[in-house]
Amino acid sequence: MVAPFDTTDFRRTLGYLPTGVTVITTTDPFGRPVGMACNSFMSVSLNPPLVMLCVGEASATLVDLRQNGGFCVNILGSDQGQLCRQFSVKDIDRFADVRWSESAAGPELCDALAWMSCSIDVEHVAGDHVIIIAEVTALRVNPDEPEPLVFHRGLFGSFRESAKPVAAGAAPGAGAGAGGRTVSVAPSTAG
């Protein structure tokens, strides 16, 4: 173990954990669309259906999320790396040239893998972030089933299923040959 460490070391180490990528959307008090890229997102409970995301305390989007009390989770596909980058930049019109449709929870970004409408249940302050736990009130999946966008070590990649099924009782770390899913760590060229 290396000690002490700084935030750069911490971020770099967390980069070894591949994550899915979402864009969280809602509207501001004037009804304009707002959103942010988020890879700190996960399921919490099946019954009731709860999800969790982490938002920086200084995020302008956090104000709108709180005011609305709800949001839309847009799960991004492998060809949406540039869209994720656009929703990561501050002080720009993140919706410029973005195709989307209205929903009660927030804008649904076209060509995403799936969409979830959520209602904020509870918040917890955690360091410089706020953990939001929300109930999923509606969901929809893309019938085209594109591959998901995966973020790993600062790069975008994709995730594809292995040709072999997972063998019952297979030992952890048995490798891709044992079945399951594999993650491609090559950067996305889709942009």
Amino acid identity of 132?
Answer: I
Distances (CA, A) of 44 to 74, 120, 144: 17, 13, 26
Q: Give the confidence band of 146 by pLDDT, cuts at 50, 70, 90.
A: confident
Which has more pLDDT, 47 or 186?
47
Of residues 58, 56, 35, 42, the one with CA closest to residue 134:
42
| Amino acid making up residue 95 | F
d(CA 171, CA 168): 9
Taken in order 10, 79, 187, 33, is the CA torsion positive or negative?
A: negative
Between 108 and 185, whose confidence is greater? 108
CA 181 to chain CA centroid, nearest Å: 19
pLDDT in tens, 100-134: 999 999 999 998 999 999 999 999 999 999 999 99
Residues 130, 108: Cα–Cα separation, whole Å: 23
pLDDT of 180 > 90? The answer is no
Class of residue 38 by CB neighbours under 10 A (exposed 0-12, middle 13-18, buried 19+):
buried
Which CATH entry fits the domain spanning 7-156: 2.30.110.10, 1.10.340.30, 3.40.1350.10, 3.30.540.10?
A: 2.30.110.10
**Is the CA virtual torsion 183, 24, 12, 92 positive or negative?**
positive
Domain ranges of the chain: 7-156
Q: What is the pLDDT of residues 18-63, one digit of tens each?
A: 778 999 999 999 999 999 999 899 999 999 999 999 999 999 999 9
